[in-house]
């Protein structure tokens, strides 16, 4: 399955196949080879995927709604915002009050708070190819944290609180995001 939902009672994790959204993979694939089995015709696939995500989010009774995709929606890293996701997926996430969108793709750690909704955009792509030095600090008013090195994040959930910690490769906490239903703060 390219997209699926995991229910853990207090949270639902919505895994979304973001690769078929990206136009350049179809228009200019360069040396890359993609398996588009089950994706073509592309517009039909994307239309159904967006309807499925919207319906699953609308029907969710989970305390925390977390969407996970490979590509960032908002990013100050090497790849920047994924314009196709901003246009097509983001409105659905905002309408359904998603709490977190977690992605990789950019080889960094970052936390961007939406300025138009409750969504916190979290990138945990610091496993390799880090330290590129191509950070755009002015690209997002909601930028809370950016680290161009290697590391990882952890997410701890209770029915009322979420703690997201950003670690470097030595296990040092570099940034913490504390969320409570109805009250948000970033340290």
3-46 residue pLDDT tens: 889 998 899 999 999 999 999 999 988 888 899 999 999 999 99
In a domain, 101, yes or no: yes
Domain harbouring 49, CATH code: 3.60.21.10
Q: What's the CA gap between 113 and 24, in Å, rounded?
A: 27
Q: What's the CA gap between 119 and 22, in Å, rounded?
A: 21
What pLDDT digit, counting tens, does each position of 64-104 carry? 999 999 999 999 988 899 999 999 999 999 999 999 999 99
Q: What's the CA gap between 140 and 156, in Å, rounded?
A: 26
In a domain, 124, yes or no: yes
Q: How many structural domains comprise the chain? A: 1
* pTM listed for this prediction: 0.92
In a domain, 161, yes or no: no
In a domain, 115, yes or no: yes
Q: For this structure, is 79 an active site residue?
A: yes
DSSP 31-42: T-----TTT-SH
In a domain, 160, yes or no: no
The domain in which residue 95 lies consists of: 3-149
Q: Which of 44, 79, 107, 140 is catalytic?
A: 79
């Amino acid at each position: 399955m390219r997209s699926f939902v995991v229910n853990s009672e207090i949270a639902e994790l919505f895994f979304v196949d973001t690769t078929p959204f990206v136009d350049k993979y179809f228009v200019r694939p360069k040396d890359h080879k993609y398996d588009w089995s089950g994706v073509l015709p592309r517009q039909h696939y994307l239309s159904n995927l967006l309807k499925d995500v919207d319906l699953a989010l609308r029907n969710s009774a989970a305390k925390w709604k977390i969407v996970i995709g490979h590509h960032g929606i908002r990013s100050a890293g090497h790849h920047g915002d994924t314009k196709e996701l901003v246009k097509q997926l983001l409105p659905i996430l905002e309408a359904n009050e998603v709490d977190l969108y977690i992605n990789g793709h950019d080889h960094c750690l970052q936390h961007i708070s939406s300025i138009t909704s409750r969504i916190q955009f979290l990138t945990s792509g610091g496993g390799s190819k880090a330290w590129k030095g191509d950070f755009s600090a002015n690209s997002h008013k909601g930028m809370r944290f950016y680290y161009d090195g290697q590391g990882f994040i952890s997410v701890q959930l209770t029915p009322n609180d979420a703690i997201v910690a950003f670690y470097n490769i030595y296990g040092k906490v570099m940034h913490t995001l504390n969320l409570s239903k109805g009250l948000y703060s970033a340290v």
